[in-house]
Amino acid sequence: MVGRIEDYALIGDLETAALVGKDGAIDWLCVPRFDSPACFAALLGSEDNGRWRIAPAGAATCSRRSYVPDTLVLETVWETVGGAVKVTDFMPPRGGLPQVVRRVEGLSGRVAMRADLTVRFDNGRIVPWTRTVDARTVVAVAGPDSALLHADAAVDLSVTTPRTSCAFSVAAGERVTFVLRWSPSHLPANPGGDTEELLAGTLDFWRTWTSKCLYQGPWRDVVVRSLVTLKALTYEPTGGIVAAVTSSLPECLGGERNWDYRFCWLRDSTFTLSCLLRSGYREEAVAWKDWLVRAVAGEPSDLQPLYGVGGQRRLVETLAPWLAGYEGSEPVRFGNAAVGQLQLDVYGEVLNTVYSALRAGVAIDTQVWRLIASFMEYLEKHWREPDAGLWEVRGPRRHFVHSKIMCWVAADRALRMARVAGLRGSAERWRAMRQEIRKDVLRHGWDDEMGCFVQYYGSRRVDAAVLLMPKLGFLPPDDRRLRGTLEAVRRLDHHGFLRRYADTGGPGRVNEVDGLYGGEGTFLACSLWFADSLAMTGRRDEGRELFERVLDVRNDVGLLSEEWDPVSRRQLGNLPQAFSHVALVNTAFALHGTRAESRNGNGRHGDGSRNGRHGDGSRTESGSRVRAAR
Ligand SMILES: OC[C@H]1O[C@H](O[C@H]2O[C@H](CO)[C@@H](O)[C@H](O)[C@H]2O)[C@H](O)[C@@H](O)[C@@H]1O
Whether residue 270 sits in one domain with residue 180: no
For residue 514 and ligand 1, the question of a CB distance below 6 A is answered with: yes
DSSP character at residue 465:
G
Length of the chain: 630
Report the separation in Å between the CA atom of 264 and the middle of ligand 1, taken as the mean of its atom positions.
12
For residue 390 and ligand 1, the question of a CB distance below 6 A is answered with: yes
Report the separation in Å between the CA atom of 581 and the middle of ligand 1, taken as the mean of its atom positions.
16
Report the separation in Å between the CA atom of 10 and the middle of ligand 1, taken as the mean of its atom positions.
21
Asked whether residue 256 carries a pLDDT value surpassing 50, the answer given is yes
Asked whether residue 615 carries a pLDDT value surpassing 70, the answer given is no
Whether residue 47 sits in one domain with residue 19: yes
63 found inside a domain: yes
Q: What is the pLDDT of residues 112-162, one digit of tens each?
A: 999 999 999 999 999 999 999 999 999 999 999 999 999 999 899 999 988
Report the separation in Å between the CA atom of 262 and the middle of ligand 1, taken as the mean of its atom positions.
11
Q: Please count the structural domains in the chain.
A: 2
Whether residue 154 sits in one domain with residue 246: no
3-state secondary structure of 629: coil
Rounded distance, CA 434 to CA 440, Å? 10
Whether residue 122 sits in one domain with residue 57: yes
For residue 260 and ligand 1, the question of a CB distance below 6 A is answered with: no
Report the separation in Å between the CA atom of 511 and the middle of ligand 1, taken as the mean of its atom positions.
15
Rounded distance, CA 185 to CA 325, Å? 28
Q: What angle do CA 235, 584, 269 make, to 5 degrees?
A: 30
469 found inside a domain: yes
For residue 267 and ligand 1, the question of a CB distance below 6 A is answered with: yes
Closest Cα to atom 10, ligand 1: which residue? 243
612 found inside a domain: no
Asked whether residue 289 carries a pLDDT value surpassing 90, the answer given is no
Whether residue 392 sits in one domain with residue 470: yes
Report the separation in Å between the CA atom of 265 and the middle of ligand 1, taken as the mean of its atom positions.
9
Q: Residue 380 is part of which domain span?
A: 211-598
What Cα–Cα distance (Å) separates residue 584 from each residue in 4, 220, 277, 338, 559?
22, 12, 15, 25, 11
Q: Ligand 1 atom closest to Cα of 390?
A: 15
For residue 62 and ligand 1, the question of a CB distance below 6 A is answered with: no
Q: Ligand 1 atom closest to Cα of 305?
A: 13
Per-residue confidence band for 361, with pLDDT thresholds at 50, 70 and 90: confident
3-state secondary structure of 435: helix
Asked whether residue 42 carries a pLDDT value surpassing 70, the answer given is yes
pLDDT (mean) for 487-494: 96
Closest Cα to atom 1, ligand 1: which residue? 391
For residue 263 and ligand 1, the question of a CB distance below 6 A is answered with: no
614 found inside a domain: no
For residue 265 and ligand 1, the question of a CB distance below 6 A is answered with: yes
For residue 261 and ligand 1, the question of a CB distance below 6 A is answered with: yes
3-state secondary structure 540-593: HHHHHHHHHHHHHCCCCCCCCCCEEECCCCEEECCCCCHHHHHHHHHHHHHHHC
pLDDT (mean) for 453-480: 94
Mutation probe of ligand 1 site: the residue of 258, 259, 387 with most atoms within 8 A of C-beta: 259
Residue 357 confidence (pLDDT): 87
Asked whether residue 601 carries a pLDDT value surpassing 50, the answer given is no
- Longest Cα–Cα distance in the chain: 78
For residue 219 and ligand 1, the question of a CB distance below 6 A is answered with: no
Report the separation in Å between the CA atom of 392 and the middle of ligand 1, taken as the mean of its atom positions.
5
Rounded distance, CA 164 to CA 157, Å? 6
551 near 222, Cβ under 8 Å? yes
Residue 375 confidence (pLDDT): 94
For residue 520 and ligand 1, the question of a CB distance below 6 A is answered with: no
For residue 78 and ligand 1, the question of a CB distance below 6 A is answered with: no
Rounded distance, CA 146 to CA 335, Å? 23
391 found inside a domain: yes
Mutation probe of ligand 1 site: the residue of 256, 341, 392, 579 with most atoms within 8 A of C-beta: 392
Residue 318 confidence (pLDDT): 98
Closest Cα to atom 3, ligand 1: which residue? 392
Q: What is the pLDDT of residues 341-352, one digit of tens each?
A: 999 999 999 999
- Indicate which CATH number applies to the domain containing 552: 1.50.10.10
From 198, 222, 239, the end of a domain falls on 198
Q: Ligand 1 atom closest to Cα of 579?
A: 11
For residue 407 and ligand 1, the question of a CB distance below 6 A is answered with: no
Report the separation in Å between the CA atom of 526 and the middle of ligand 1, taken as the mean of its atom positions.
14
Whether residue 294 sits in one domain with residue 224: yes
- Indicate which CATH number applies to the domain containing 188: 2.70.98.40
Q: Ligand 1 atom closest to Cα of 243?
A: 11
3-state secondary structure of 77: strand
Whether residue 96 sits in one domain with residue 243: no
13-22, 49-58, 209-218, 608-617: range with lowest mean pLDDT: 608-617
600 compared with 535, residue with greater pLDDT: 535
Reported pTM: 0.93
Whether residue 318 sits in one domain with residue 173: no
- From the list 225, 215, 207, the residue with the least C-alpha distance to 556 is 225
Residue 298 confidence (pLDDT): 85
For residue 391 and ligand 1, the question of a CB distance below 6 A is answered with: yes
What Cα–Cα distance (Å) separates residue 177 from each residue in 18, 31, 115?
18, 21, 11
572 near 564, Cβ under 8 Å? yes
Rounded distance, CA 485 to CA 231, Å? 34
615 compared with 163, residue with greater pLDDT: 163
Q: What is the pLDDT of residues 519-567, one digit of tens each?
A: 899 999 999 999 999 999 999 999 999 999 999 999 999 999 999 999 9
Per-residue confidence band for 510, with pLDDT thresholds at 50, 70 and 90: confident
Mutation probe of ligand 1 site: the residue of 391, 393, 510, 520 with most atoms within 8 A of C-beta: 391
52 found inside a domain: yes
User: Hey, what's the torsion of the CAs at 97, 121, 243, 496, to 10 degrees?
Assistant: -130
Residue 293 confidence (pLDDT): 86
Residue 619 confidence (pLDDT): 38
Whether residue 549 sits in one domain with residue 495: yes
Closest Cα to atom 18, ligand 1: which residue? 259
pLDDT (mean) for 616-621: 38
Q: Ligand 1 atom closest to Cα of 392?
A: 23
Q: Ligand 1 atom closest to Cα of 338?
A: 21
For residue 501 and ligand 1, the question of a CB distance below 6 A is answered with: no
Q: Ligand 1 atom closest to Cα of 265?
A: 13
22 found inside a domain: yes
Report the separation in Å between the CA atom of 343 and the middle of ligand 1, taken as the mean of its atom positions.
11
- From the list 69, 9, 58, the residue with the least C-alpha distance to 224 is 69
Report the separation in Å between the CA atom of 428 and the middle of ligand 1, taken as the mean of its atom positions.
35
Report the separation in Å between the CA atom of 94 and the middle of ligand 1, taken as the mean of its atom positions.
29
Q: What angle do CA 555, 560, 562 make, to 5 degrees?
A: 140
Closest Cα to atom 23, ligand 1: which residue? 392
Per-residue confidence band for 369, with pLDDT thresholds at 50, 70 and 90: confident
For residue 34 and ligand 1, the question of a CB distance below 6 A is answered with: no
Residue 220 confidence (pLDDT): 96
Whether residue 512 sits in one domain with residue 418: yes
For residue 359 and ligand 1, the question of a CB distance below 6 A is answered with: no
Whether residue 122 sits in one domain with residue 232: no
608 found inside a domain: no
Closest Cα to atom 21, ligand 1: which residue? 338
Q: Which are the contacts of 160, defined by CB distance < 8 A and separation ≥ 6?
A: none
612 compared with 431, residue with greater pLDDT: 431
pLDDT (mean) for 61-81: 98
For residue 392 and ligand 1, the question of a CB distance below 6 A is answered with: yes
Burial bucket for residue 185 (CB in 10 Å: 0-12, 13-18, 19+): middle
Report the separation in Å between the CA atom of 604 and the middle of ligand 1, taken as the mean of its atom positions.
36
- Give the β-pairing of 163-171 and 9-12: unpaired
**Residue 313: what residue type?**
R
Whether residue 310 sits in one domain with residue 180: no
What average pLDDT does the chain have?
A: 91
pLDDT (mean) for 408-437: 90
